[in-house]
Copies of this chain bind each other. A is one copy, B any other.
Amino acid sequence: MMADIRMRGFSQRTTVHQFEALIREHCRPLGTEEVSIAQAGRRVLAEPVVSGVDVPGFERSAMDGYALRSEETFGAGTYNPLQFRVIGEVTPGRTFPGRVGPGETVRIMTGAPLPDGADAVLMAEYAAERDGVMTASDAVTPRKNVGRIGEDIRAGSTVLPAGRVLRPQDLGVLASIGQGRVRVVRRCGVALLITGNELLRPGERPQGARIVDSNSIMLAQLIARDGAQLAATLHLADIRDDIRAALSDAPGDLLVTTGGTSVGIEDHAPTLIAELGELLVHGVAMRPSAPSGFGLVKGRPVFLLPGNPVSCLAAYDFFVRLGVNLLGGRPEPWPYRPVRCTLTSRIASQIGRVDYARVRVRDGQAELVATSGASILSSTSQADGFVVVEEDSEGIPAGGEAQVWLYD
């Protein structure tokens, strides 16, 4: 019975790798939805997009210049200028109503359709126009400066693969083939269950023995960063029935609890998850964030994050982010930039345990910011990033090389 563990410490700690494997096993991609391309930035494409049209759908000029019959320019040069009668002009979006005949030319702008009869465009730089006559000082070969039909995109070609996280230019491609809507993976909805009698709401001033909930504000940003959306933020006292109801009924695809995850007398979440569903992880071989957990309630993944804000941040980045990414069909690498640094002091760890150490970085040197515990949120503001000491390492000595993940 889970309640036995209260005030006794964690009986067994799950390793970070075991935890990750369980997340991969239980977090599956969500369904799909259709959204307008204007709303599709950074969304994950649910199916390949095949173009129904050629882009361009007509032969177009790649230059400002003169459309003409290329064979008539052969031999033209600075010392042998040739003359053409300008019979009109064509600008983008219009079609020249006539036909370019022998000795004739049409002034043409970049992107305009090539008039009938012409097969090339002479750049404006090699042309001089006066009184309706254009003098060419260069020759052009057939198709010169003419973009062919489908040169950008061919009808029937796959322009974007399923799984693509849509870039700004991808949305441009979708617009250019006339696709106004696109099918994407549904955005993962996350409900935050913030527990703790001691917590005031963000915006309130700390007083007496009460502190302000900082985790909900931080987690909301992390969730948005990872392409998910906040389904709800519920602030709950340490009342077992209230937490039970929220675990059952909160909206969203994935639940995150903060606080009440350990083995203390008011740590209701782990035992409630065991009662309502399945508690798969409780206690992780990681520092900080040891009192993290994971389970399923009505098939929905529930992540238990420690109330201590540094633990909460690290456990989010290690575990919740992976779950959110899997549900959202996204690739998983961290959003932090890695740099190699030399450590100014030792980071101690243990075989089997992962350590998350905040560091300041100056001139390639990484200095530990704080070792004084998971409660010091300001350490993650003062730090430039963090070093992860992997399970198979006993730590990194002073002067050793470490990979720092930069927060910015």
Contact = CB atoms under 8 A, between A and B. Distances in A.
B107 A377 contact: no
A82 interface: no
Contact of A265 (B38, B109, B220): B109
A211 B373 contact: no
A158 B238 CA distance: 33
Interface in A202-216: 202-215
A309 B57 contact: no
A80 interface: no
Interface in A91-150: 91-95, 107, 109-113, 124-125, 129, 147
Interface string A32-46: 000011100100000
Interface residues of A, number: 98
A38 B91 contact: no
A325 to B, nearest CB: 14
A72 interface: no
B213 A175 contact: yes
A377 B173 contact: yes
A41 B221 contact: yes
For the complex of A and B, 5 pairs with smallest distance between CB atoms: A93-B198, A180-B203, A178-B205, A92-B198, A172-B214
Interface of A: 7-9, 36-38, 41, 53, 55-58, 60, 62, 64, 89, 91-95, 107, 109-113, 124-125, 129, 147, 151-153, 159-160, 165, 167-178, 180-181, 196-199, 202-215, 217-222, 224-225, 238, 262-266, 307-309, 313, 337, 372-373, 375-378, 380-381, 407-408
